[in-house]
Amino acid sequence: MFTALKIAWRFLVNSKIQTLVIILGIAIGISVQMFVGLLSKGLETSLLDKVVGNSAHITIYPKNNIIENYHDKEAKIKKLDNKIISVAPVVECNASINAHDMTEPAQIRGFVFKDLNLLYNIKNKIYEGKTLENPNEVLIGKELGEKLGLKIKDNINIVTADKRKVSLKVVGFYDFDTIKVNKTLVITDLKAAQDLAGFGDAASSMELYTSDPYNADYIASKIENGLKDKNLKIENWKNQNKLLVSAIMGEKVCSIVIQLSVMIAAILSIISIMSISVVQKYKQIGILKAMGIKDESAGFIFITQAFILGIVGTGIGVALTYLYIKAFNRYIVSSDGKPIVTIIIDYSFIIKLCIIDIMASTLAAFFPAIKSFKLTPVEVIKNG
């Protein structure tokens, strides 16, 4: 084996241009694979964040007006699937906001503090102030806050259609990147919203966050079968955004097809060049066999060559991928200077792809190795 390794290295060094061509072919192929794969993941994450980041993965609605005993239902739901991270009771009602002698319509939504960040990642969406920490505090959307001329620590009065009223203090301004939401949604404490809605310790819906949003439909089905409550309607984000789900799945399939096509092209080029290499080295292989080298060792020379080329080409390919990502995030940007798609480095994906590509590069030398294995000194002498 050590002899085969030395000979393989000698062949690579002596054929510098051929070696360089193979390495570049592998590196470019792998870099394209990685970049397309990471771009696909970044696009998928961005789309999910835009849609799912501003809504719950699963929502439970009552067929009548309210969900009573939501504490018991919350405990039961969490036991149905370990992918359910948060079950948040929500109280929602329509009202008017009075501030600075102005009145605007609003949708009031009340949450338990700990659930708010899990559901909406609210800390990253607050651009001024802080998140809710105490009762009788409120978060206001960017456009609504600007229209009413509100500032941090201002007090606002919220009045419902049936004259229920509460005074709340503004502690933060959020931006969901959706003007319609920013202009109407007012976020407050669950108890404050319950007082405004006027139906006591109950919820108008329950919102669920899971660790696996892609299987939200499957989890929703488990919840429906587990609760067996005909007075509840269970919906999930996939059913509410069917066109988006189809687009994401189509994009993932296209990404996989492109990656496989590039890999196959790289493998075929390696097989072609390595086959030519065997023909070019007929005399050397014949002489080595005449000197006593075994057929297995002769074949192993080309397997070893391919393995070395795969490792070097993969390493260069990873470096090229990093340059692609850096250039993409710097130059492919929107009008506000932010990348159109934020590409996140997924190390597990890169490692898996590196292993697959090195194995594929090594196996590509299988047919050339068989040629070398079958070659005899007599055939070399006969063919000159």
**Cβ proximity of 31 and 328 under 8 Å:** no
| 121-161 per-position pLDDT tens digit | 888 889 999 988 888 899 999 999 999 999 999 999 999 88
With 0-12 / 13-18 / 19 or more C-beta atoms within 10 angstroms meaning exposed / middle / buried, residue 119 is buried
**Cβ proximity of 61 and 235 under 8 Å:** yes
Nearest to 86 by CA among 265, 246, 207: 207
Give the H/E segment covering residue 235: strand 232-236
Write down the pLDDT at residue 247. Answer: 77
**Cβ proximity of 206 and 70 under 8 Å:** yes
Nearest to 226 by CA among 12, 80, 351: 80
Write down the pLDDT at residue 144. Answer: 92
Q: What is the β-pairing status of strands 58-62 and 232-236?
A: antiparallel
| 330-377 per-position pLDDT tens digit | 887 777 677 777 787 888 888 988 888 888 878 777 776 676 666 666
Write down the pLDDT at residue 6. Answer: 73
Predicted TM-score (pTM) of the model is: 0.66
Write down the pLDDT at residue 120. Answer: 80
Write down the pLDDT at residue 26. Answer: 82
Local confidence pLDDT in tens for the 384 residues of the chain: 566 677 767 767 777 787 788 888 888 888 888 888 888 888 777 777 666 666 788 999 988 778 888 888 888 998 888 899 889 999 999 999 988 888 899 999 999 888 888 778 888 889 999 988 888 899 999 999 999 999 999 999 999 888 888 899 999 999 987 888 889 999 999 988 988 888 888 899 999 988 888 888 899 999 988 888 888 899 988 887 887 778 777 877 887 887 788 777 777 776 676 666 656 665 666 666 666 667 666 667 777 877 888 888 889 989 999 998 888 888 877 776 777 777 878 888 889 888 888 888 787 777 766 766 666 665 655 555
**CA atoms within 13 A of residue 282's CA, in its CB half-sphere:** 14
Q: Which residue has the tokens 């390696």?
A: 270
Q: Which residue has the tokens 């990093």?
A: 322
Supply the mean pLDDT for the chain. Answer: 81
What is the C-alpha separation between 370 and 373, in angstroms, rounded?
5
Write down the pLDDT at residue 188. Answer: 92
- 203: DSSP letter: B
Q: What is the β-pairing status of strands 102-111 and 185-189?
A: parallel
